[in-house]
Amino acid sequence: MATLRLGDTAPDFEQDSSVGTIKFYEFLGDKWGVLFSHPADFTPVCTTELGYTAKVADEFAKRGAKVIAVSVDDADSHRKWISDINETQNTTVNYPILADADHKVANLYDMIHPNASTTATVRSVFIIDPNKKVRLIITYPASTGRNFNEILRVLDSLQLTDSHSVATPVNWESGDDVIIVPSIKDEAELKAKFPKGYTVVRPYLRITPQPNK
């Protein structure tokens, strides 16, 4: 299949998981989605990632996002692995892990990169908005654990852009100043949207306090 790109519609699918059959669109409902892949079960880096994600599950929920993982092993293996994750990471995995033994999801989301491995999925993350559009794709090598605080940060940024017509600058964290998108030029609209005021550094670079803080 063609490579999935930002703005594309996220492919729907039905697949077995650690909690039974998942119909992806039905699972997401009107929420944001975070789909992240793992090369295989009982792998050390993945174990730490899945454990940490369980620990910050409430942070995703606060943002109206549902988390779902995928690995190429079967559901029985996932359930055994979850016991290990819970024990070694001192947490409780409370989200599904898709059982993608037939590589259905891996192929739909272009998670197998043959020059890296012909069977194991790369370490990919997809953020999908409530309209089922792909808004973020990050791909890591199998040996590098992901930063889920960064994924939460990007989710905050995307939601802020959608709700307040702003972009977020380098190293932005929630609560920092933001950038007014260049498409807003009308003075009355600027005053209405940004009652806290804004600073014009350059005509294309206008800084304003985060609107929802």
Tens digits of residue pLDDT in 33-55: 999 998 889 999 999 999 999 99
Which of 14-23, 44-53, 109-118, 133-142 shows the lowest per-residue confidence on average (mean pLDDT)? 109-118
Band (pLDDT 50/70/90 cuts) for residue 120 is: low
Question: For the whole model, what pTM was predicted?
Answer: 0.91
* Contact between residue 211 and residue 194 where contact means Cβ atoms under 8 Å apart: yes
Active site residues: 46
pLDDT at 114 over 80: no
Mean pLDDT of 96-121: 76
Strands 97-99 and 178-180: unpaired
Average pLDDT, the chain: 92
- The one-letter code for the residue type at 33 is G
Pair of tokens at residue 180: 């007014």
Tell me the pLDDT tens digit for each residue of 179-205: 999 999 888 999 999 999 999 999 999
Give the residues across from 179 on adjacent strands.
167, 207
Q: Per-residue confidence at 111, pLDDT binned at 50, 70, 90?
A: confident
What whole-number percentage of the chain has pLDDT above 90?
Answer: 81
- Residue 36: strand pairing partners: 69, 125
What per-residue confidence (pLDDT) applies to 179? 98
pLDDT digits (tens, 9 = 90+) for 126-163: 999 999 999 999 998 878 899 999 999 999 999 999 99
What is the pLDDT, as a whole number, of residue 143? 83
Q: Domains of the chain (ranges plus CATH)? A: 14-145 (3.40.30.10), 165-208 (no CATH)
With cut-offs at 50, 70 and 90, classify the pLDDT of residue 115.
Answer: very low
Mean pLDDT lowest among 84-93, 105-114, 123-132, 146-155: 105-114
Q: What is the mean pLDDT of residues 53-80?
A: 96
State yes or no: pLDDT of 70 exceeds 50.
yes
- pLDDT at position 113, please? 53
Residues whose CB is less than 8 angstroms from the CB of residue 105 and which lie 6 or more positions away in sequence, other chains included: 13, 15, 37, 70, 98, 111
